[in-house]
Amino acid sequence: MEKKTTELATLGQRGLLKRDATAEGLQYLTFSLAGEEYGIDILKVQEIRGWAPVTKVPNAPSFVRGVMNLRGAIVPVIDLRLRFGLETVEYTKTTVVIVATVQSASGSRIIGTVVDGVSDVLNLNPADIQPAPDFGTAVHTDFISGLVTVDAGMVMLLDVDRLLSVEEMFALENVRPTESHITAAAA
Amino acid sequence: MAIDIGQFVQTFFEESFEGLDVMEAGLLALEPGVTTDLEKINTIFRAAHSIKGGGGTFGFKDVTDFTHLMETLLDGMREGRLSVTSEAVDALLQSVDCLREMLIAARENIPVEPEQVRALRARLSRLLNQQPAQNRAENTPSPTVAPASAPQAAGWRIQFRPHPQLMHSGNDPVRMFRELTELGKLTVRADASRLPKLADLRPEDSYLSWELELSGDATRDAVAEVFAWVEGDCDLNIEPLAAEAAPGVRAEPAPPAAPPGAEAGPKTGEEGRQGELLLERRKGEDRRRGDRRVNVAASDSASIRVGIDKVDAVINLVGELVTTQSMLSALGEDFDMSRLDKLHEALDQLDRNTRDLQEHVMRIRMLPVSSVFSRFPRMVHDVSAKLGKQVELQINGEQTELDKTVIEKIGDPLVHLIRNSLDHGLEPPDERARAGKPETGVIRLDAYHKSGSIFIEVGDDGRGLNREALLRKGLQEGLLRPGEEYSDEQIYDLIFHPGLSTAKQVSDVSGRGVGMDVVRSNIQDVGGSIQIASHPGQGTRITISLPLTLAILDGQLVSVGEDCYIIPLLSIIESVQVRADAVNRVAGKGEVFRFRGQPLPILRLYELFDTEGAVSDLEQGLLVVVEADGRQVGLFVDDLEGQQQVSIKSLEKNFRQVSGVAGATILGDGRVGLILDISGLIRVNNVAL
C-alpha cells in the first residue's frame, strides 16, 4: 500500500490566506470535481493534503470514506462526489484532500473532503456573486451560497458549514437526491 | 503600602464554601439533647468565625452580619448557655444554605432575596433568647421591650467608669472594647473630664470614663461578660437602647405596622402565616437550590486540588525520563550496529519511564469520591424528614479515587438513585415494623476498586423492585411480548426505559419516569455501565462500574480483513480457535459456540462492519471471547495482531459517535485504529438467549 503523507499545505497557508486589506474582496479556493469548478471560503481551509488511505468507519454513510490521522487529531474524510450523488472514481496521484474548519451547532470541527484537484484562488467582489438558483425541494442545495462567472466558466460557491455539516449528512443518508444538482445546473 | 486584596477574594470564596461544608457536616453530626461533644460544636463555630472574618476583610457586610448571628448562637451552645435542640440545628442548617446563597450572590454580584435572610435572622434571634413557647407561629410581640423579661434589644447603652486602679490588675479598657465590637456595632464616647494636669498624671491610673453604644443582637449577658473581670473595679451601667426597641426584632418578619399595641394579635397571626409561607416557598426551592448548588460546584471546577506527593512523584519521573533521553541522545551520536543491545536497553527504559509517567499524571486528575458523596448525608436527612421515613446512610470507601471528569458526571445519577431509594425503595416505619424489619431503613453507598474498574453501589434494605408491576407495565407499553419468558434481569432493565414508571403517585421527589434513562446514558457517556439486583421485600442494589481513567487503554489489536480494530484488554476473557462441530445455529438467534459448557453467541465482525476480504470460515479465524455488563459474546476476527497501550481519542470531536465504536487511536504506524465498544456491541446486537 502506497503511503502518501506529503502535505501540499503550502497552497493553503502561504500568503494566500492574507486578505487584501484594501480591496472589498472575498477570497475563494477553487477546486474541480467531476468536470465542474467549485469554490469555498479560503479562511475555512486549514490545509491541503494528498490522498492517503483512511480507516473505514462502520455504520457511516457511504460518502464518509473514513477517518484519518491529522497530526494526532482524528479527522473524518468525505468523498464529495458521493456527497453530490455522483459515482466515485479511483483516487490518483493528483487526488487531493481539502481539510477545512467547519462550524456546527456543537462547535467547530475539522473535516476533510476528497476532490479531484485544487485550482486557483479567486478574489471576488461581493457584487459579482449571483444568488444560487433554486432547484426545488427534491434536491438539497442550501450548501450552494452563490454562483460567479469567470473567464474559464462558472464557479459554484459552496458554504462549507452546510456542505460538511455532520448532522445533516447523517440525516441525508436516508434522502438521496434523485437528480444531481450538477446536471440540473448545466441544463 | 496598599496591598490589593482583590486577588485573594477567589480564595476567600473557595475556603468559605469549604467552611460551609464543614459546618453542614458538623451540624448533621450533632445529636439534639446531647451537648457533651463540645469539640464538634467548636468545629462548627470556628468555621463560622472564619467566614465572618473573611467576609469582614473583603467588605461583604451582609455575610459578616449574618454569620455573626450564627456564631453567637453557636457560641451560646458551646458555652452551655443554649441547648442543642433539633430546632436550633435545623435553623442553623437553613442558615448555612442561606449563607451559601449569599456568598454566591456576593461572588456573582447579584442581589440576594432579602425576605429569606430576614426571616432566618429573626428565627436565629428568637433562638438566641430562648423564649418559652418557641414557635414560629406563636410569638407575641410586646409593644415596648421590657428589659427584665426580654434581654433582647436593638442594642445597649453602656456607661463604663473605671476606678483609678482598674489597670493595675492588668485590665485594659481597649481590649474590652475590642471584644464588644465582636458583638455588634460599637460607638464610643470618651469623657476626659477627670484628667488631671500632665504634671499630676499617674500613668497607671484610669481617669477616663466612657459612654458606649452597642447596636446589634447581643444579649445583655454577652455584654456583661465582657466586663466580667473588672466588676469590682468600675461603675458599670448597661441599659437597652430605647429608641428602636419597640419595632425591634419583632417587626422584621412582618410588615411594619402602625400602633404596636392594637396590632399585637393580628401581627402574630400574620407573622406566623408569613413564616409558614416562606417555609412553603423554601420547600419548593429546596430542590432547585440543591440543584443549583450542584451546578455551582460543577462550574467551579476549572481548578483542582492536588496532593504534593502526587506532584513530587511526577517530578521524579520526569527526571528519570530526562536521564533516559540523554542516554539515547548519546547513543545516537555515533551509533553503529555493535551498540544495538544498548539501544534496546535504553528503549526498554524509555518504555518503562513513559508508562510510569503516564500512570502518575493520570492520578493527578483523580479525586476521592468523597467529593461527590459528601452532599448525600444532608440530602438524606432532609428528604427522609420530608417523607416521614427514618433512614440511615452508610458510606464506605469514600477515599476511592476517580477521574475528575467522571466524578462530575456521576453526581446527578447518584442523586437520582438515592432519591429513588428514599422515595420508592424504603418503606415508612410502620410498614417496616409490620414486615419485621427495623424501623430505620438503611441506604448503603459503597465505592471500591476491582479488576481495573471502579465500582459504586447504591443499596437499600427496602421493598425491592416490584417484578410483577414492571412486567405488567412492560406488556402494557408494548416493550415486552406476552407469553414470553423473561429473566429478572430483563424485567428490571425496563426501569431504564424513558417514560416508564410504576410509581402510583408522582411526587416532587421522583416518580415521573424520566430519570433512569438519563442516569444510564450519563453513566454510559463516561464509559461505565449500570446493573440492578433486587430481592422483593429485602431491597435493591444498583451497581455502577466506571473506568479508572478515560484516556488510556490497554488494547488488543485484531485484524478483520484489511482493517485493524482494538479490543480493550480488560474485556477479553480468552481467545479460542473454533471447531465447526462446536458451533450450532439457533433458529432466529444466530450462531452459538459451546464455550466451557455455556452457549456463547458469535458476532462475525466482518459482517457487522461490512468488511471486504475478511476470513469467513470460522475455523480459519479466531474467536475472541469478551465480556461486558455480565454478558459474554465471541467476536470473530481474522487474527490477533499484538497488544498496545493506546490513548483514546474521541470520534465525536470532529465526527460523531458511532455505534459499536468507543473511540479511536493512532496506531504505531500512524494509521487510525478504532476501539470497539464491547458493551455497545453486545447491546445493539441483542444477543440474548
Given B650, B656, B661, which is nearest A58 (Cβ)?
Answer: B661
Q: A170, B659: Cβ pair inside 8 Å?
A: no
Mean pLDDT of chain B: 78
A75–B contact, CB cutoff 8 A: yes
Chain A residues within an 8 Å CB radius of B660: 58-59
Q: Is the pLDDT of residue B148 over 80?
A: no
**Alpha-carbon Rg of chain A, whole angstroms?**
16
Q: What is the CATH number of the domain that holds B190?
A: 3.30.70
Same-domain status, B474 and B407: yes
Exposure of B208 by Cβ count < 10 A (0-12 exposed, 13-18 middle, 19+ buried)?
Answer: middle
Task: Verify whether the Cβ–Cβ distance B651 to A67 is below 8 Å.
Answer: yes
Residue A114 grid cell: 476528497
User: Does B196 score more than 90 pLDDT?
Assistant: no
- Which value does ipTM take for this structure? 0.72
Contact between B540 and B462 (Cβ < 8 Å): yes
Q: What pLDDT sits at residue B484?
A: 75
Selection from B674, B558, B667 nearest residue A55 by Cα: B674
Cβ of B655 within 8 Å of Cβ of A109? The answer is yes
The pLDDT score that the predictor gives to residue A184 is 35
Q: Which residues of B are less than 8 Å from A68 in CB distance?
A: 672
C-alpha to C-alpha distance for A57 and A168, rounded to whole angstroms: 18
- pLDDT for A136 equals 59
Where does the pLDDT of residue B34 fall: very low under 50, low under 70, confident under 90, or very high at 90 and above?
low
Chain B interface disruption, residue of A59, A101, A106, A165, most B CBs within 10 A: A59
B611 CB neighbours in chain A (<8 A) are: 56
Residue of B nearest to A72 (CA): B666
What is the residue range of B358's domain?
308-364
- Chain B residue with minimum CA distance to A106: B653
The answer to whether residue B265 sits within a structural domain is no
Q: Do A69 and B659 touch (CB under 8 A)?
A: no
CB-CB under 8 Å, A55 with B649: no
From chain A, pick out residues whose CB is under 8 angstroms from the CB of B563: 55-56
Same domain, B383 and B510: yes
Instruction: Report d(CA B268, CA B131) in Å as an integer.
Output: 15
Lowest mean pLDDT among B83-92, B155-164, B239-248, B636-645: B239-248
Residue at which a domain ends, from B224, B240, B256: B240
Predicted local confidence at residue B301, as pLDDT: 55
Q: Is B114 contained in some domain?
A: yes
Q: Which three cell numbers stand for residue B453?
A: 474498574
Shortest distance between the Cα of A5 and any Cα of chain B, in A, equals 10
- Kindly indicate the confidence band of residue B297, based on its pLDDT and cuts at 50, 70 and 90: very low
B166 with B127, same domain: the answer is: no
A104–chain B nearest CA distance, Å: 10
Q: Who among B564, B609, B654 is closest to A110 (CB)?
A: B654
pLDDT at position B292: 42
Whether residue B640 sits in one domain with residue B523: no
Beta carbons of B655 and A166 less than 8 Å apart: yes
How many interface pairs between A and B have CB atoms less than 8 angstroms apart? 66
Chain B within 8 Å of A60 (Cβ-Cβ)?
yes
Q: What is the mean pLDDT of chain A?
A: 76
Q: Which chain A residues are Cβ-neighbours of B656 within 8 angstroms?
A: 166-167, 170
Contact A52, A170 (CB under 8 A): no
Order of strands, edge to edge, in the sheet holding A96-104?
A45-50, A96-104, A107-115, A73-79, A64-70
Q: How far is B489 from B320, CA to CA, in rounded Å?
A: 51
Q: Confidence band (pLDDT; 50, 70, 90) for B424?
A: confident
* B interface residues, A as partner, C-beta within 8 Å: 563-564, 608-611, 649-651, 653-656, 658-661, 664, 666, 670-674
Q: How high is the pLDDT of residue B227? A: 83
Q: Are B522 and B619 within one domain?
A: no
- pLDDT at residue A186, rounded to an integer: 39
Compare CB distances from B654 to A56, A111, A167 and report the shortest one's residue.
A111
Q: Answer yes or no: is B271 within a domain.
A: no
User: Which one of A56, A76, A111 has the shortest CB-CB distance to B563?
Assistant: A56
What cell does B439 get? Answer: 424501623
Q: Are A46 and A102 in contact (CB under 8 A)?
A: no
Mark yes or no for CB contact A60/B658 under 8 Å.
yes
CATH code, B399: 3.30.565.10
In this structure, of A177-181, B74-78, B327-331, B413-417, the range with the lowest mean pLDDT score is A177-181
Please check whether residues B27 and B108 belong to one and the same domain.
Answer: yes
Query: Among A18-27, B581-590, B602-611, which is the least confidently predicted range?
Result: A18-27
The answer to whether residue B255 sits within a structural domain is: no
Residue B459 counted as domain residue: yes
Tell me if B258 is assigned to some domain: no
User: Whats the size of chain B, residue-wise?
Assistant: 689
pLDDT tens track for B436-458:
889 889 999 999 887 667 899 99
Highest mean pLDDT among A16-25, B142-151, B631-640: B631-640
Quote the minimal CA–CA distance from B19 to chain A in Å: 37
* CA–CA gap between residue B666 and residue A72 (Å, rounded): 7
Mean pLDDT across the stretch B576-581? 87
Beta bridge partners of B627: B632
Q: Does the pLDDT value for residue B505 go beyond 70? A: no
pLDDT for residue B278 is more than 50: no
Q: What is the CATH number of the domain that holds B573?
A: 2.40.50.180
Cβ contact (<8 Å) for B671 and A69? yes
Interface contact B653-A57, CB threshold 8 A: no
Look at A70-79, B143-152, B602-611 and tell me which has the smallest mean pLDDT.
Answer: B143-152
Residues A57, B651: C-beta atoms closer than 8 Å: yes
Q: Each residue of B44-95: pLDDT tens digit? A: 888 898 888 888 888 888 888 888 888 888 888 877 777 777 788 888 888 8
Cβ-proximal residues to B234 (8 Å cutoff; 6+ apart), any chain: B160, B161, B162, B163, B166, B227
Give B-chain residues touching A72 at CB under 8 angstroms.
Answer: 649, 666
Residue type, A28: Y
- Number of domains forming the structure of chain B: 5
- Confidence class of residue B550 from pLDDT cuts 50, 70 and 90? low
Residues B383 and B520 in one domain: yes
State the pLDDT at residue B686: 64
Residue B302 or B16, more confident: B16
Residue B542 and residue B556 in one domain: no
Q: pLDDT-derived band of residue B597, with 50, 70 and 90 as boundaries?
A: confident
Count CB atoms within 10 A of the CB of residue A125.
Answer: 11
Nearest to B563 among A5, A55, A64 (CB): A55
Residue B271 predicted with pLDDT over 80? no
Average pLDDT of span A13-26: 48
- Closest residue in chain A to residue B655, using alpha carbons only: A76
pLDDT in tens, B661-685: 888 888 888 889 999 988 888 877 6
Closest CA to B419 of B394, B471, B455, B384: B384
Residue B285 domain-assigned (yes or no) = no
DSSP labels for A14-73? SSTTS--SSS--EEEEEEEETTEEEEEEGGGEEEEEE----B--TT--TTEEEEEEETTE
Is residue B256 predicted with pLDDT exceeding 80?
no
Q: Which of B323, B341, B364 marks a domain boundary?
A: B364
B341 Cα to chain A: minimum distance (Å) = 31
Strand partners, A97: A49, A114
| End residue of a domain, out of B194, B216, B240 | B240
Do B608 and B561 fall into the same domain?
yes
Sheet holding A26-33, edge to edge: A117-124, A26-33, A36-41, A153-158, A144-150
The residue of B612, B655, B657, B666 whose CB has the most chain A CBs within 10 angstroms, and thus the best one to mutate to test that interface, is B655
Answer whether A74 sits within 8 Å of B659, measured CB to CB. Answer: no
Q: What is the structure's pLDDT at B500?
A: 65
Mean pLDDT of all residues in B466-490: 79
Q: Most B CBs within 10 Å: which of A49, A69, A102, A160, as the mutation test of the B interface?
A: A69
Instruction: Please give the share of chain B, as a percent, with pLDDT higher than 70.
Output: 81
Verify that B106 and B160 share a domain, yes or no.
no
Same domain, B340 and B236: no
**Would you state the pLDDT for residue B326?**
92
CATH, residue B67: 1.20.120.160
The predicted-structure confidence for B303-353, as pLDDT tens digits, reads as follows 787 889 889 999 999 999 999 999 999 988 888 888 899 899 999 999 889
Phi and psi at residue B578, in whole multiples of 5°? -95, 135
Claim to verify: residue B579 and residue B497 sit in the same structural domain:
no
Put simply, the answer to whether B610 touches A75 (Cβ < 8 Å) is no
User: Is A78 in contact with A113 (CB distance < 8 Å)?
Assistant: yes
Q: According to the model, what pLDDT value does residue B637 have?
A: 93
